[in-house]
Amino acid sequence: MPLSQKTKNRLMMPFAVSPIMKWGAFPGIVGILLFWLGVWRKIGWLKIGGLVLAAPMLWVYFVIIFIYMPFLIFDKIRRGRSRAR
């Protein structure tokens, strides 16, 4: 049974940020490591540099957690209410 376009779009939503994840993964991991090294050694400039490098990955996690997840929850509630009628 072929999937409808709406279902395909819903399944592809988590991967909409994948270009950011492709070019930002390595600098993001390095940035997180530098940030924690700065916290551990109490070096301010290392913390700031780590946050700058980790910013793309932090943005991706922000989008997934605070935008995509609530959308899924409210979409499930909306679909449940429309079926109940």
pLDDT tens for each residue of 9-58 = 777 776 666 676 777 778 888 999 999 999 999 999 999 999 999 988 88
pLDDT at 81 > cutoff 70? yes
Is 30 part of any domain? Answer: yes
Integer Cα distance of 77 and 40 in angstroms: 44
pTM over 0.85: no
Is 63 part of any domain? yes
Residue 8 covered by a domain: no
Q: What is the mean pLDDT of residues 44-73?
A: 85
Does some domain include residue 3?
Answer: no
Other residues' Cβ atoms within 10 Å of the Cβ of residue 67: 11
Q: Which domain holds residue 71?
A: 20-84
Residue 13 in any domain: the answer is no
Q: Quote the number of domains for the chain.
A: 1
